[in-house]
Structure 1
Amino acid sequence: MSTLKIAVQKSGRLNEDSIKLLKNCGIRIENGKDQLKASAANFPLDVLYLRNGDIPQYVEDGVADIAIVGENLLVETGNDVEVVRKLGFSKCKLSLAVPKDTNYPGPEFFEGKKIATSYPNTVKQYMEKVGVKTEVHVIKGSVEIAPNIGLAEGICDLVSSGSTLFKNGLVEKDIILQSEAVLVKNKNLTAEQEELLETILFRLDAVQKGEKSKYVLMNAPNDKVDEIIKVLPGMKSPTVVPLAEEGWSSVHTVMEESKFWEVIDQLKGAGAEGLLIVPIEKMVL
């Protein structure tokens, strides 16, 4: 039987979320400390723990069949791999930042100046796009320190909360790339490997739909049930269950959390009472 090899970050912000995602998909991985390879106990999957920057090349070369990486890394490396699914976690921005008291009119500020970054290819592509000629200084460590020591007039780095920029007296200016974790694959998987990947994607869909949705229960007078059902944006027809108290029913449905907040006032106005919102672990349609 064929086995699928997935590469994940050995350590860092993507590691825990990647392993958690596999666990939520029902894949049990039992690995020891500092182990570089582990096999799933209940699915034909081997997990390779690799240095983040090496992962796209390993997937392109076929050493790993699939991988979880950040979009920003794919843009930077330019490796020939296929993005299968956006995963919705590890969201961040690749942004230009300058010292807080700098008069910054736009990217043209960097004309003839230096930018410190760990993403030279992405920065060069962006600057070419906006028609600005700049000098890119590559740093593989704490990029934020560069303006303070006179190494560059500004930086381009990943930004999540912005706290690191603030601590170093920098201000975020232009976002050049929005990024999140993605699932990628080698373009030459066998038919068996593609089938295994489809199984993972099926499970992943169930997990992601569950995360975005909520199970909603509410009580309603029987003469208000039809009006309430018209308001509900949930899946198919809701379930209506008679309550012990005569003249009342319980209405059950599933809806996206964002839509619930859009209609809650309408539901209450239509006569719904005692609304209860319950998390959904997984949802299979």
Structure 2
Amino acid sequence: MDDDNRVTRRRVGDAEIRRANRRWWDTDANAYQAEHGAFLGDVDFVWCPEGLREADARLLGELAGRRVLEVGCGAASCARWLATQGAHPVAVDLSAGMLRHAAHAADRSGVRVPLAQADALALPFADGSFDIACTAFGAVPFVDDSAALMREVCRILRPGGRWVFSVTHPMRWIFLDDPGEGGLTAVHSYFDRQPYVEQDETGVATYVEQHRTLGDRIRELVGAGFRLVDLVEPEWPEGHDGIWGQWSPLRGRLFPGTAVFVTEKRGQERGAPRPR
């Protein structure tokens, strides 16, 4: 198989997706942390390559005393930051390689949070266990049945609990993954939901990432039992000259690269007295 066939858009079965992405993140964990670890920090909550920080955005609401689940935590820098804000976080990821880096970062920083290896589609927690769930580019783009993921997160949240997640902005799927001028021309249909797939010489998927439109995401959330509070599209900040994959100052000044969905589980209104 030539290099042109190593990257494609095609349907992939659930079992192949799980194997591919688990193996990818286990294998790529060292390279990923070497490239992005300094930007993400050991104890920091960065939502996206644009550099939006939870310390400034406050999308999660009140943190002190809240039980928070970080889904698809990677090296768990966000969960450790949450712990410094008085929250009680738990961090889960499918990849043992990424969780290994989470343990190393805990040793370096001295900030420790509970870590668990778990599938986001089968979270090992009781109903209503958490006040908040969050992820910065974790889990959501890597599962085929993201509607099921939304339902699973809704299950482990109490009524009124907040679910906030960042993903690649859906309109970015129109363009090539090119941070330069080649990434300014629309080449794909926004409505093509076939995933981006990297595959080996035998045609077996080695990396799979899913595309959903904005409407798809909102319907998934509403169907799972959430209400949309906000949709944040971070602008590219002045003076930020970093490049992360297809994110760059050139593209960032023209159209959004990240979408952050801020939602709450329907039921008890936020701020109402919580049952003991």
> What is the TM-score with the length of structure 2 in the denominator?
0.30
Q: Which has the higher contact order (CA 8 A, sep 6+)?
A: 2
> What is the TM-score with the length of structure 1 in the denominator?
0.29
Rg comparison, structure with higher value:
1
